[in-house]
Amino acid sequence: MNPAQAERPVRAAQPVIPVYRPDLSGKERDYVIDCVDSTWISSIGAYIGKFEAAIAGVTGAKHALSVCNGTVALHLPLHCMGIGPGDEVIVPAFTYIASVNTIAQTGAVPVFAESLRGDWLLDPEDVERRITPRTKAIMPVHLYGGACDMAAIMDIAQRHGLQVLEDAAEALGTTIGGQHVGTFGHAGSFSFFGNKTVTTGEGGMVVTNDDALAATMRMTKGQGQSTTRRYWHEVLGFNYRMTNISAAIGLAQTERLPQILAAKRRVAKIYKESLAGMPVTFQQAMAGVESADWLVSLLLPPGTDRDRLMAEMQAVGVETRPVFYPAHHMPMYRREEHFPIAEDIAARGLSLPSFPALTDGELARVCEALVNSLR
Protein backbone atom coordinates (compact mmCIF):
# COMPACT_ATOMS: atom_id res chain seq x y z
CA MET A 1 0.00 0.00 0.00
CA ASN A 2 1.28 3.39 -0.99
CA PRO A 3 1.96 5.80 1.88
CA ALA A 4 0.43 8.63 -0.07
CA GLN A 5 -2.98 7.02 0.25
CA ALA A 6 -5.58 8.57 2.45
CA GLU A 7 -5.40 6.09 5.31
CA ARG A 8 -1.62 5.93 5.09
CA PRO A 9 -0.43 3.40 7.65
CA VAL A 10 2.84 3.85 9.44
CA ARG A 11 5.57 2.66 7.11
CA ALA A 12 7.04 -0.68 8.02
CA ALA A 13 10.51 0.81 7.69
CA GLN A 14 10.38 4.55 8.37
CA PRO A 15 13.13 6.17 6.33
CA VAL A 16 15.99 7.27 8.51
CA ILE A 17 15.63 10.92 7.47
CA PRO A 18 12.03 11.78 6.58
CA VAL A 19 11.01 14.91 4.71
CA TYR A 20 9.22 15.97 7.84
CA ARG A 21 8.71 15.02 11.46
CA PRO A 22 6.73 17.23 13.84
CA ASP A 23 8.55 18.44 16.94
CA LEU A 24 6.13 17.80 19.80
CA SER A 25 8.64 18.50 22.55
CA GLY A 26 6.76 21.44 24.11
CA LYS A 27 3.49 21.35 26.00
CA GLU A 28 1.71 19.31 23.30
CA ARG A 29 1.52 16.17 25.44
CA ASP A 30 0.31 17.99 28.56
CA TYR A 31 -2.36 19.91 26.70
CA VAL A 32 -3.64 16.81 24.91
CA ILE A 33 -3.85 14.90 28.16
CA ASP A 34 -5.70 17.86 29.65
CA CYS A 35 -8.30 17.55 26.87
CA VAL A 36 -8.79 13.84 27.44
CA ASP A 37 -8.89 14.14 31.22
CA SER A 38 -11.38 17.00 31.06
CA THR A 39 -13.42 14.97 28.50
CA TRP A 40 -13.53 18.01 26.14
CA ILE A 41 -12.32 16.33 22.96
CA SER A 42 -14.85 17.55 20.39
CA SER A 43 -14.96 21.00 18.78
CA ILE A 44 -16.04 22.39 22.14
CA GLY A 45 -13.22 23.39 24.44
CA ALA A 46 -11.00 26.16 25.71
CA TYR A 47 -8.01 25.40 23.47
CA ILE A 48 -9.90 26.37 20.32
CA GLY A 49 -10.26 30.02 21.23
CA LYS A 50 -6.74 30.12 22.61
CA PHE A 51 -5.23 28.68 19.44
CA GLU A 52 -7.24 31.08 17.27
CA ALA A 53 -6.00 33.98 19.39
CA ALA A 54 -2.43 32.72 19.09
CA ILE A 55 -2.60 32.62 15.30
CA ALA A 56 -4.28 36.02 15.19
CA GLY A 57 -1.38 37.23 17.31
CA VAL A 58 1.31 35.68 15.12
CA THR A 59 -0.20 36.94 11.87
CA GLY A 60 -1.56 40.24 13.12
CA ALA A 61 -4.95 39.42 11.61
CA LYS A 62 -8.10 40.67 13.30
CA HIS A 63 -9.92 37.35 13.00
CA ALA A 64 -8.60 33.79 12.96
CA LEU A 65 -11.03 30.88 12.46
CA SER A 66 -9.91 27.33 13.07
CA VAL A 67 -11.04 24.62 10.65
CA CYS A 68 -10.34 20.92 10.20
CA ASN A 69 -7.66 21.22 7.49
CA GLY A 70 -5.95 23.54 5.05
CA THR A 71 -8.16 22.49 2.16
CA VAL A 72 -11.42 23.50 3.78
CA ALA A 73 -9.56 26.64 4.93
CA LEU A 74 -9.64 27.56 1.23
CA HIS A 75 -13.15 26.35 0.42
CA LEU A 76 -14.75 28.20 3.34
CA PRO A 77 -13.64 31.74 2.34
CA LEU A 78 -14.24 31.08 -1.38
CA HIS A 79 -17.79 29.94 -0.59
CA CYS A 80 -18.40 32.83 1.81
CA MET A 81 -17.05 35.40 -0.66
CA GLY A 82 -19.92 34.28 -2.86
CA ILE A 83 -17.78 32.61 -5.50
CA GLY A 84 -19.72 30.04 -7.51
CA PRO A 85 -20.94 28.91 -10.93
CA GLY A 86 -20.23 31.42 -13.69
CA ASP A 87 -17.24 32.91 -11.86
CA GLU A 88 -13.55 32.58 -12.62
CA VAL A 89 -10.73 32.52 -10.09
CA ILE A 90 -7.11 33.00 -11.17
CA VAL A 91 -4.69 30.55 -9.55
CA PRO A 92 -1.15 29.48 -10.46
CA ALA A 93 -0.88 26.34 -12.59
CA PHE A 94 2.04 25.39 -10.35
CA THR A 95 0.50 24.73 -6.94
CA TYR A 96 -0.73 21.95 -4.69
CA ILE A 97 -4.00 20.57 -6.06
CA ALA A 98 -6.13 21.78 -3.14
CA SER A 99 -5.82 25.39 -4.34
CA VAL A 100 -7.48 24.40 -7.60
CA ASN A 101 -9.95 21.81 -6.31
CA THR A 102 -11.53 24.19 -3.84
CA ILE A 103 -12.23 26.67 -6.63
CA ALA A 104 -13.81 23.92 -8.74
CA GLN A 105 -15.77 22.76 -5.71
CA THR A 106 -17.61 26.11 -5.55
CA GLY A 107 -18.67 25.65 -9.18
CA ALA A 108 -16.33 28.41 -10.36
CA VAL A 109 -13.72 27.85 -13.08
CA PRO A 110 -10.05 27.87 -12.06
CA VAL A 111 -8.10 29.95 -14.58
CA PHE A 112 -4.41 29.12 -14.57
CA ALA A 113 -1.58 31.63 -14.60
CA GLU A 114 2.19 31.40 -15.03
CA SER A 115 4.83 31.41 -12.29
CA LEU A 116 7.88 33.62 -11.93
CA ARG A 117 11.27 32.12 -12.70
CA GLY A 118 12.99 33.19 -9.47
CA ASP A 119 10.57 32.51 -6.65
CA TRP A 120 8.33 29.98 -8.49
CA LEU A 121 5.24 32.00 -7.46
CA LEU A 122 2.29 33.62 -9.22
CA ASP A 123 3.32 36.07 -11.94
CA PRO A 124 1.28 39.28 -11.43
CA GLU A 125 1.62 40.36 -15.07
CA ASP A 126 0.22 37.07 -16.26
CA VAL A 127 -2.62 37.39 -13.76
CA GLU A 128 -3.61 40.71 -15.27
CA ARG A 129 -3.62 39.22 -18.77
CA ARG A 130 -6.06 36.51 -17.69
CA ILE A 131 -8.71 38.76 -16.18
CA THR A 132 -12.09 38.54 -17.94
CA PRO A 133 -15.51 39.98 -17.07
CA ARG A 134 -16.17 36.76 -15.18
CA THR A 135 -13.09 36.99 -12.95
CA LYS A 136 -14.12 37.30 -9.31
CA ALA A 137 -10.95 36.54 -7.37
CA ILE A 138 -7.23 35.85 -7.40
CA MET A 139 -5.60 33.13 -5.32
CA PRO A 140 -1.86 33.71 -4.88
CA VAL A 141 -0.14 30.69 -3.33
CA HIS A 142 2.88 31.18 -1.06
CA LEU A 143 4.63 27.90 -1.85
CA TYR A 144 7.38 26.32 0.27
CA GLY A 145 7.43 29.24 2.70
CA GLY A 146 7.98 31.82 -0.03
CA ALA A 147 5.84 34.91 -0.53
CA CYS A 148 4.12 36.15 -3.67
CA ASP A 149 4.44 39.74 -4.84
CA MET A 150 1.45 40.91 -2.84
CA ALA A 151 1.95 44.61 -3.61
CA ALA A 152 1.54 43.95 -7.33
CA ILE A 153 -1.31 41.48 -6.83
CA MET A 154 -3.28 43.78 -4.52
CA ASP A 155 -2.80 46.63 -6.95
CA ILE A 156 -4.28 44.56 -9.77
CA ALA A 157 -7.11 43.37 -7.55
CA GLN A 158 -8.01 46.89 -6.52
CA ARG A 159 -7.94 48.20 -10.06
CA HIS A 160 -10.22 45.40 -11.26
CA GLY A 161 -12.42 45.06 -8.16
CA LEU A 162 -11.36 41.48 -7.43
CA GLN A 163 -11.21 39.57 -4.17
CA VAL A 164 -7.91 38.05 -3.07
CA LEU A 165 -7.61 34.83 -1.08
CA GLU A 166 -4.02 34.04 -0.12
CA ASP A 167 -3.24 30.33 0.06
CA ALA A 168 -0.63 30.49 2.81
CA ALA A 169 -0.96 26.78 3.65
CA GLU A 170 2.82 26.42 3.43
CA ALA A 171 3.82 29.81 4.76
CA LEU A 172 3.14 30.27 8.44
CA GLY A 173 5.94 32.51 9.69
CA THR A 174 6.60 34.17 6.33
CA THR A 175 6.54 37.96 6.14
CA ILE A 176 6.88 40.67 3.51
CA GLY A 177 8.33 43.87 4.92
CA GLY A 178 7.44 42.58 8.36
CA GLN A 179 3.76 41.94 7.50
CA HIS A 180 2.61 38.33 7.71
CA VAL A 181 1.40 36.63 4.53
CA GLY A 182 -2.29 35.89 4.56
CA THR A 183 -3.10 39.42 5.76
CA PHE A 184 -2.60 41.30 2.48
CA GLY A 185 -5.68 39.91 0.73
CA HIS A 186 -9.29 39.75 1.87
CA ALA A 187 -8.56 36.43 3.57
CA GLY A 188 -5.68 34.02 4.01
CA SER A 189 -5.54 30.28 4.69
CA PHE A 190 -3.08 28.09 6.59
CA SER A 191 -2.57 24.34 6.86
CA PHE A 192 -1.48 22.50 9.99
CA PHE A 193 -0.97 19.05 8.47
CA GLY A 194 1.70 16.86 10.08
CA ASN A 195 4.40 18.21 7.75
CA LYS A 196 3.76 21.91 8.43
CA THR A 197 5.75 24.45 10.48
CA VAL A 198 2.97 24.39 13.08
CA THR A 199 0.97 21.18 13.06
CA THR A 200 -2.29 20.08 14.63
CA GLY A 201 -2.19 16.66 12.94
CA GLU A 202 -4.79 17.78 10.43
CA GLY A 203 -5.96 21.35 10.70
CA GLY A 204 -6.28 24.74 9.14
CA MET A 205 -7.00 28.39 9.88
CA VAL A 206 -8.58 31.23 7.95
CA VAL A 207 -7.53 34.77 8.82
CA THR A 208 -9.22 37.99 7.76
CA ASN A 209 -9.56 41.60 8.82
CA ASP A 210 -13.08 41.78 7.39
CA ASP A 211 -15.67 41.61 10.19
CA ALA A 212 -18.58 40.66 7.95
CA LEU A 213 -16.65 37.92 6.16
CA ALA A 214 -15.45 36.58 9.50
CA ALA A 215 -18.99 36.41 10.86
CA THR A 216 -20.28 34.65 7.75
CA MET A 217 -17.42 32.17 7.83
CA ARG A 218 -17.92 31.45 11.53
CA MET A 219 -21.56 30.66 10.98
CA THR A 220 -20.91 28.67 7.81
CA LYS A 221 -18.19 26.46 9.28
CA GLY A 222 -20.58 25.53 12.09
CA GLN A 223 -23.42 24.16 9.94
CA GLY A 224 -24.83 27.63 9.23
CA GLN A 225 -26.44 27.52 12.66
CA SER A 226 -27.96 30.66 14.16
CA THR A 227 -25.93 32.12 17.01
CA THR A 228 -29.07 32.38 19.13
CA ARG A 229 -31.28 29.41 18.21
CA ARG A 230 -29.99 25.82 18.32
CA TYR A 231 -30.77 23.62 15.30
CA TRP A 232 -31.99 26.69 13.38
CA HIS A 233 -29.77 27.06 10.33
CA GLU A 234 -29.81 30.38 8.50
CA VAL A 235 -27.51 29.57 5.59
CA LEU A 236 -26.15 26.47 3.91
CA GLY A 237 -23.26 25.44 6.10
CA PHE A 238 -20.60 22.79 6.56
CA ASN A 239 -19.00 20.97 9.44
CA TYR A 240 -15.48 22.39 9.12
CA ARG A 241 -14.80 22.55 12.86
CA MET A 242 -11.41 21.81 14.44
CA THR A 243 -11.28 19.67 17.58
CA ASN A 244 -10.11 20.85 20.98
CA ILE A 245 -7.29 18.26 20.87
CA SER A 246 -6.01 19.58 17.54
CA ALA A 247 -6.17 23.13 18.87
CA ALA A 248 -4.33 22.06 22.02
CA ILE A 249 -1.47 20.72 19.90
CA GLY A 250 -1.53 23.83 17.72
CA LEU A 251 -1.38 26.12 20.74
CA ALA A 252 1.63 24.30 22.17
CA GLN A 253 3.30 24.47 18.76
CA THR A 254 2.59 28.17 18.32
CA GLU A 255 4.04 28.92 21.74
CA ARG A 256 7.34 27.65 20.34
CA LEU A 257 7.00 29.14 16.86
CA PRO A 258 10.03 31.44 17.20
CA GLN A 259 12.25 28.47 18.10
CA ILE A 260 10.75 26.30 15.35
CA LEU A 261 11.30 29.03 12.76
CA ALA A 262 14.86 29.63 13.93
CA ALA A 263 15.59 25.91 13.63
CA LYS A 264 14.11 25.80 10.13
CA ARG A 265 16.11 28.83 9.02
CA ARG A 266 19.24 27.14 10.28
CA VAL A 267 18.37 24.07 8.21
CA ALA A 268 17.88 26.19 5.08
CA LYS A 269 21.13 28.05 5.67
CA ILE A 270 23.15 24.88 6.06
CA TYR A 271 21.68 23.39 2.88
CA LYS A 272 22.48 26.53 0.91
CA GLU A 273 26.03 26.72 2.20
CA SER A 274 26.70 23.00 1.76
CA LEU A 275 25.35 22.84 -1.78
CA ALA A 276 26.76 26.18 -2.93
CA GLY A 277 29.08 24.59 -5.46
CA MET A 278 26.51 22.27 -6.96
CA PRO A 279 24.51 22.84 -10.16
CA VAL A 280 21.23 23.27 -8.30
CA THR A 281 19.11 26.43 -8.03
CA PHE A 282 17.28 27.14 -4.79
CA GLN A 283 13.87 28.79 -4.74
CA GLN A 284 14.59 32.51 -4.35
CA ALA A 285 12.79 35.24 -2.45
CA MET A 286 11.98 38.80 -3.48
CA ALA A 287 13.51 41.68 -1.56
CA GLY A 288 11.73 42.21 1.75
CA VAL A 289 10.53 38.61 2.02
CA GLU A 290 11.48 36.70 5.14
CA SER A 291 10.74 33.07 4.18
CA ALA A 292 9.70 30.57 6.84
CA ASP A 293 11.71 28.01 4.82
CA TRP A 294 8.94 25.47 5.08
CA LEU A 295 10.45 22.88 2.71
CA VAL A 296 13.86 23.73 1.32
CA SER A 297 13.37 23.27 -2.41
CA LEU A 298 15.61 23.51 -5.42
CA LEU A 299 15.75 22.88 -9.15
CA LEU A 300 17.86 19.96 -10.34
CA PRO A 301 20.00 20.51 -13.44
CA PRO A 302 18.09 20.20 -16.73
CA GLY A 303 17.97 16.62 -17.91
CA THR A 304 18.27 15.05 -14.45
CA ASP A 305 16.20 11.89 -14.04
CA ARG A 306 14.42 13.02 -10.88
CA ASP A 307 12.71 9.70 -10.21
CA ARG A 308 16.03 7.87 -10.31
CA LEU A 309 17.68 10.48 -8.11
CA MET A 310 14.90 10.30 -5.53
CA ALA A 311 15.06 6.50 -5.53
CA GLU A 312 18.80 6.59 -5.00
CA MET A 313 18.49 9.01 -2.12
CA GLN A 314 15.70 6.90 -0.62
CA ALA A 315 17.97 3.85 -0.90
CA VAL A 316 20.48 5.54 1.38
CA GLY A 317 17.76 6.56 3.83
CA VAL A 318 16.92 10.07 2.64
CA GLU A 319 13.29 10.81 1.85
CA THR A 320 12.58 13.64 -0.60
CA ARG A 321 9.56 15.05 -2.41
CA PRO A 322 9.13 16.11 -6.01
CA VAL A 323 7.45 19.49 -6.30
CA PHE A 324 3.88 19.52 -7.60
CA TYR A 325 2.75 18.52 -11.06
CA PRO A 326 1.14 21.52 -12.76
CA ALA A 327 -2.61 21.53 -12.40
CA HIS A 328 -3.28 21.91 -16.13
CA HIS A 329 -1.69 18.47 -16.65
CA MET A 330 -4.11 16.67 -14.33
CA PRO A 331 -6.93 14.69 -15.99
CA MET A 332 -9.77 16.84 -14.57
CA TYR A 333 -8.16 20.16 -15.49
CA ARG A 334 -6.31 19.24 -18.69
CA ARG A 335 -6.24 22.10 -21.18
CA GLU A 336 -4.38 23.03 -24.31
CA GLU A 337 -2.40 25.64 -22.45
CA HIS A 338 1.28 26.03 -21.77
CA PHE A 339 3.08 27.56 -18.84
CA PRO A 340 6.75 27.03 -19.70
CA ILE A 341 8.14 28.30 -16.41
CA ALA A 342 5.63 26.40 -14.27
CA GLU A 343 6.25 23.25 -16.31
CA ASP A 344 10.01 23.56 -16.01
CA ILE A 345 9.88 24.09 -12.22
CA ALA A 346 7.44 21.20 -11.88
CA ALA A 347 9.74 18.91 -13.85
CA ARG A 348 12.96 19.77 -12.01
CA GLY A 349 11.94 20.78 -8.49
CA LEU A 350 12.88 18.77 -5.43
CA SER A 351 12.15 19.32 -1.73
CA LEU A 352 14.63 18.22 0.91
CA PRO A 353 14.06 17.06 4.50
CA SER A 354 13.31 20.28 6.37
CA PHE A 355 12.06 19.51 9.87
CA PRO A 356 13.37 21.62 12.73
CA ALA A 357 15.12 18.84 14.67
CA LEU A 358 17.48 17.90 11.79
CA THR A 359 20.99 17.49 13.17
CA ASP A 360 24.22 18.63 11.53
CA GLY A 361 25.00 14.99 10.86
CA GLU A 362 21.65 14.35 9.20
CA LEU A 363 21.97 17.49 7.09
CA ALA A 364 25.42 16.37 5.96
CA ARG A 365 23.97 12.95 5.04
CA VAL A 366 21.21 14.54 2.97
CA CYS A 367 23.71 16.73 1.12
CA GLU A 368 26.05 13.81 0.55
CA ALA A 369 23.23 11.69 -0.83
CA LEU A 370 22.13 14.47 -3.17
CA VAL A 371 25.67 15.18 -4.37
CA ASN A 372 26.30 11.49 -5.00
CA SER A 373 23.04 11.08 -6.89
CA LEU A 374 23.73 14.17 -9.00
CA ARG A 375 26.93 12.71 -10.41
Ligand X SMILES: Cc1ncc(COP(=O)(O)O)c(CN[C@H]2[C@H](O)[C@H](O)[C@@H](OP(=O)(O)OP(=O)(O)OC[C@H]3O[C@@H](n4cnc5c(=O)[nH]c(N)nc54)[C@H](O)[C@@H]3O)O[C@@H]2C)c1O
The contact set with ligand X (CB under 6 A) reads 3-4, 8, 18-22, 39-42, 44, 69-71, 95-96, 98-99, 141, 167, 169-170, 191, 193-195, 204, 230, 239, 319, 321
For residue 143, the SS3 value is helix
CB of 276 to ligand X, least distance (A): 26
Question: Which of ligand X, its own copies, none sits in contact with 331, Cβ below 5 to 8 A by type?
Answer: its own copies
Helices assigned H by DSSP within 257-329: 257-274, 306-315
Per-position b or e across 282-299, b if 16+ CB within 10 A of its CB: bbebbeebbbbbbbbbbb
Q: Give the C-alpha separation, 81 to 220, whole Å.
A: 11
CB of 101 to its own copies, least distance (A): 6
CB of 298 to ligand X, least distance (A): 16
Nearer to its own copies, 158 or 227 (CB): 227
Q: Give the C-alpha separation, 148 to 165, whole Å.
A: 12
CB of 279 to ligand X, least distance (A): 25
294 binding its own copies? (CB under 8 A): no
Find the binding residues for its own copies in span 73-102 (CB under 8 A).
96-98, 101
345: CB partners within 8 A, 6+ apart: 94, 115, 120, 299, 323
Across the chain, which distance is largest between two alpha carbons, in Å? Answer: 67
189: CB partners within 8 A, 6+ apart: 70, 73, 74, 77, 165, 166, 167, 168, 169, 182, 204, 205, 206, 207
Do 141 and 122 touch, CB atoms closer than 8 A?
Answer: yes
Q: What H or E segment, with its residue span, contains residue 131? A: none
CB of 336 to ligand X, least distance (A): 25
**Binder among 15, 56, 152, 238 for its own copies (CB under 8 A):** 238
Nearer to its own copies, 134 or 233 (CB): 233
Among the listed ranges 27-35, 139-147, 150-158, 294-302, the one in contact with its own copies (CB under 8 A) is: 27-35
- Site map 305..324 versus its own copies, x via CB under 8 A: ----------------xxxx
- Site map 30..69 versus its own copies, x via CB under 8 A: --xx--xxxxxxxxxxx-xx--x------------xx-xx
12 binding its own copies? (CB under 8 A): no
Residue of 74, 104, 76 whose CA lies nearest to 89? 104
Q: Which amino acid is at 304?
A: T
Note if 196 is an active site residue.
Answer: yes
Strands 349-351 and 175-176: unpaired
Nearer to ligand X, 39 or 228 (CB): 39
What single DSSP character describes residue 298?
A: E
Q: Which residues pair with 115 in a beta bridge?
A: 122
Question: Which of its own copies, ligand X, none sits in contact with 219, Cβ below 5 to 8 A by type?
Answer: its own copies
**Binder among 15, 109, 152, 223 for its own copies (CB under 8 A):** 223
CB of 368 to its own copies, least distance (A): 24
Catalytic residue among 136, 196, 221, 264: 196
Nearer to its own copies, 59 or 216 (CB): 216
Catalytic residues: 196
